[in-house]
Every structure is written in C-alpha cells, then in structure tokens.
Amino acid sequence: MSFPVSLVDGLPGQFLECSFRGIPFAVTKGSGTNGRKTAVHEYPMKDGVWVEDLGRKGRQFRISGFMVGALGYSQRDLLSRACEIPGPGLLVHPSLGAIQAVCVNGLQWSEREGVFNVIDLEMEFVEQSNLFNVIQTTAAHATIGTLSASTSLISSNGFIASANPLAGGSDAVISAATATGTAWAAPLVNFSKSPTFVSKAQSSQSISDFRVSLNDILSEMGSALNVEEIASAMSSLPSVITGSDFSVSDKMQMLFPLFNILDAADETMSDNLPVTISGKKRMLSSMASYLGGFLSIGPLCEVISQYKPDNSLDALGLLQKLKVIFETLVILAPDSWEGLSENLFNLRAQTVNYLLNQATSLSDMIEVDAPSSLPSLALAQILYGDGSRSSEIEAENQTVHPAFMPSNLTVKAQ
C-alpha cells in the first residue's frame, strides 16, 4: 500500500534544516566522533602500557536527513554534485553551527518504497583542518553562510505571507508572479546555452546536470498553482549555481545578472491591497522581483567569501558592485518581512569586512612606462627581481604575446 504524498508534505516543518555547499535538506538525526589519536605501546616483561598521544582526531559527523517535494529529486542531484566537488565545503547544521567540512564516503540516498517525492539521505563529514588557512577568513565564510540561509528563509516566508492575500486563488494573479520568476531566471537560462558556459564547464556531464536542474525548476515554476510553490521553485534556483562545480569567478558571473529583475520592480509597496486584478498582478509581480533579489544576495555573498582577488583593485571593484546591490535591496525590503532588513545589514557588514581585509592584504596596482617593448620575463626581473612573476604581468595586461609587452603597463606595486 502506498502512502499519499499529502502525508509527507508537512514533514519539513517538523524538522530543522541543514545545508551543505548551500544545498538545503531536512535533518532527522546526527551523531559524531571526537577524541585523540593514540598509539598503545606494550613492552615485554613490563606491567602496564604506555599510551602515546598523537594529537586530536579529526572531528567526524554523521548526518541523516531527507528531501521532500516536487523538487526533491532536483535537490538530490544538486547535493550529489556538491558532494563530488573536491575540497571542503560549508556545512551549516542546526546544532553544530557552520563549519568547513569534507564529505567522506559520498552521499548515500534512497527512495522510500511506495512513497513519491521523498528521498532519504545519509552523509558523513570530517571537519577540515587547514593549517595554512586564515581563521578570520574561515569564520567570515561560516558567518556569511549562516546569514545567507536565514535571509533566504525570511524572504520566502515574507513573500508567502504578503502574497497570499493578493493571489486569493486567482490563476491570473499567480501567473503574473510565475512570469516574473521566469524572467528572473532568464539570464541564467541564456548563459547556460552560450558557448562561454560550455567552455567553462568541467565536463559534459556538468553541462547536462546543470541544464536538467535548471529546467526542472523552471518547469516547477511554470506549473505553480500557489505562492508557496512559486517561493519553493525560486528558492531552489541559486542552489543550482552554488552547488555546481564551476569556479568561484564563474559562479559570480552567473549570480550578478539575477539582480537585473530589480530594475523593473516598484520601489514602494502599499499597505493597502489593490482591488483590481491588474493592480494585484502588478503588486505580486513586484513582490516576486523583490524575492528574486533577496534570494540571490545570500548565495552571492557566500561565493564572494570564497573569492581570492588578484589585487586590491579587484577587491575594491567587487566591493563597489556589491554596495550598489545592497543599497537597492535595503530600500526595497518590506517592513512586514520581519527581520529582513537586519539580516541584510549584517550580511553586508560581514561581506564588506571580508573584501576590505582582502584588499588591504593585497598589492596596490601602479602604472609603469617601459622605455620600449620588452618580454614579460625581462620586465618581471627588472620590476621584482623574480622572473617567475612574468605570468602576473601578462595576466594584468591581457598580453597578446609575452615576448612583446606594451610599453604602458599596469603591474602590482610589490
């Protein structure tokens, strides 16, 4: 006998949320292993043993959870790819907090017999210990990840609470929000079809998985019957980017266009509900635009917290772009979406501090006029006394050929 899907639809509300690399899931059980590494030495003709301390063991965490809903299978695929990305990722757990961890032994998932749209998950993580990592950077990344998750949750809940009275079960009004959601995703859809996207992908499988996940979300958005389904579909879209195996720079390139939808949104939202269908459609469309921006800012800040600028100008340029986006979002944040403005301020503060710290630790850029066109190897030796830094000069000046550098150069001061 199969269980009706309606019996499991309410499950996520009864469990706390966890996420890995920005991909959320409900967590049902957790366990861990902590302690010291030891070696027990036994000697002949001696009573007792000597236990040698070899340092702290890596902290291991075992997490059980599940995904549920029409997008559960797409979310599972995103989480699968997140676990396949090499290196540590941000694990946000309701009791462990935010930590950098590596998924060991892979993701184990199973579908319940006779029940659709429910996927059970089993994962094991080991906390990453990187002696060369800067503690401040790790802490900033963890804090930004936590703020990102809460911003998305507040935005989704605020949208649902504000949009339900407007929608009122009207298909015409709901279709306005779905159209806005589709328009919000359009830059990402167009980019996924471009030659640039194909050239940056790690493999043909990455391209296929990305497009399938994106199409699933668009299909779910297009067939949404209520504002809850719209919010669910829109909330899943940034995860397609953050959970992919593209580089940090490529992820930023995909996330920034998602804020273009804010240009068409009204900057004010009246407390009085419009009485006409056209008025309701216009207001709900603006709300969906707000939601798109608020859902994108957290993932963007998470990606930025992993970005390593080449120089101070890169960091300051990114800071300026981020400042404009935050100023727009703060203006648009509805007062009725309680806690959103505070979260935005905290998220901005953490991300700005990270970029400023990066900028101050990097070299300034200066203009250099060479007497003639010289090879990059010679310039590196003249400027830095280190010919191996020729690649830096080539990268900063978009060199056509390293043997013929332009006479006017932009280089690092140190």
pLDDT tens profile 248-258: 888 999 999 99
Give the tokens for residue 127: 């906390």
Q: Per-residue pLDDT averaged across 75-102, rounded? A: 83
Predicted confidence band of residue 6 (pLDDT cuts 50, 70, 90): very low
Predicted confidence band of residue 135 (pLDDT cuts 50, 70, 90): very low
Predicted confidence band of residue 403 (pLDDT cuts 50, 70, 90): confident
Report whether 346 contacts 154 (CB < 8 A). Answer: no
Indicate the length of the chain as a whole number: 414
- Higher per-residue pLDDT: 7 or 107: 107
pLDDT tens digits for 350-361?
888 888 877 766
CB atoms near residue 214 (< 10 Å): 19
- Higher per-residue pLDDT: 12 or 340: 340
CA–CA gap between residue 144 and residue 354 (Å, rounded): 10
pLDDT tens digits for 159-207?
998 888 888 778 888 998 899 999 999 888 888 888 888 888 777 778 8
CB atoms near residue 160 (< 10 Å): 18
* Percentage of residues of the chain with pLDDT beyond 90: 12
CA–CA gap between residue 314 and residue 330 (Å, rounded): 24
Residues contacting 48, CB < 8 A, separation 6+: none
Q: Which range has highest mean pLDDT (51-55, 162-166, 289-293)?
A: 289-293
CA–CA gap between residue 377 and residue 414 (Å, rounded): 16
pLDDT tens digits for 341-352?
999 999 998 888
Q: Is 401 exposed, middle or buried (0-12, 13-18, 19+ CB in 10 A)?
A: exposed
pLDDT tens digits for 235-280?
889 988 888 888 888 899 999 999 988 876 665 555 566 668 888 8
Residues contacting 286, CB < 8 A, separation 6+: 265, 266, 269
Predicted confidence band of residue 2 (pLDDT cuts 50, 70, 90): very low
Tell me what pLDDT residue 335 has: 85
Tell me what pLDDT residue 411 has: 64
Tell me what pLDDT residue 3 has: 32
CA–CA gap between residue 91 and residue 97 (Å, rounded): 8
Is residue 375's pLDDT more than 60? yes
Predicted confidence band of residue 300 (pLDDT cuts 50, 70, 90): very high
Is residue 372's pLDDT more than 90? no
Question: Which residues on adjacent β-strands are paired with residue 99?
Answer: 91
Tell me what pLDDT residue 8 has: 40
Alpha helices in 193-255 (DSSP H): 195-200, 204-222, 227-242, 248-255
Predicted confidence band of residue 4 (pLDDT cuts 50, 70, 90): very low
Tell me what pLDDT residue 62 has: 93
Residues contacting 279, CB < 8 A, separation 6+: none
Distance of CA 16 to the CA centre of its chain: 20
75, 98, 123, 291, 315 from 101: Cα distances, Å: 20, 9, 12, 30, 26
Predicted confidence band of residue 293 (pLDDT cuts 50, 70, 90): very high
Report whether 167 contacts 226 (CB < 8 A). Answer: yes
Tell me what pLDDT residue 292 has: 92
- Higher per-residue pLDDT: 385 or 99: 99
To the nearest whole number, what is the mean pLDDT of the chain? 81
0.75 surpassed by pTM: no
Tell me what pLDDT residue 275 has: 66
